[in-house]
Amino acid sequence: GDIKLEGNLEYRFRLLGNIHGAVFLDAGNIWMLRDDPNRAGGRINLKNLPGDIALGTGAGLRYDLSVMVIRLDCGVALHTPYQTLRKGYYNIPRFMDGLGFHFAVGYPF
């Protein structure tokens, strides 16, 4: 893609000792400046911009080891920028289709 737009909001809070919690909201997408026959709908169109932004939210745990942080997150998709069987902004066909668990070391930013 030629253009990337991404955003993240995250609120972190202490739960117990070195264990912290977090809630987050992620949004973004990647577009091209020109049409590509292999990527239908991939060209940026400002009229469609709100619907072209993928959106997800979730919560997680962080274990702070002072030299690194271990994270376990559960996220769920709220909106995909492509057509699905559902109408409206929340267009994930089934809740489980948008559910994901992620393990990571360190903060993403």
Q: What is the 3-state secondary structure (H, E, C) of 21-37?
A: EEEEEEEEEEEECCCCC
Each residue of 30-68: pLDDT tens digit? Answer: 998 888 888 777 888 888 888 889 999 999 999 999 899
18: phi > 0 → left, psi -120 to 50 → alpha, else beta; which? Answer: alpha
Each residue of 73-87: pLDDT tens digit? Answer: 999 999 998 888 888
pLDDT reading at 108 higher than 80:
no
Which run of H or of E encompasses 59?
strand 54-64
- With cut-offs at 50, 70 and 90, classify the pLDDT of residue 109: low
d(CA 97, CA 56): 12
The DSSP code for 98 is G
8: phi > 0 → left, psi -120 to 50 → alpha, else beta; which? Answer: beta
CA angle 23, 16, 59 (to 5 degrees): 15
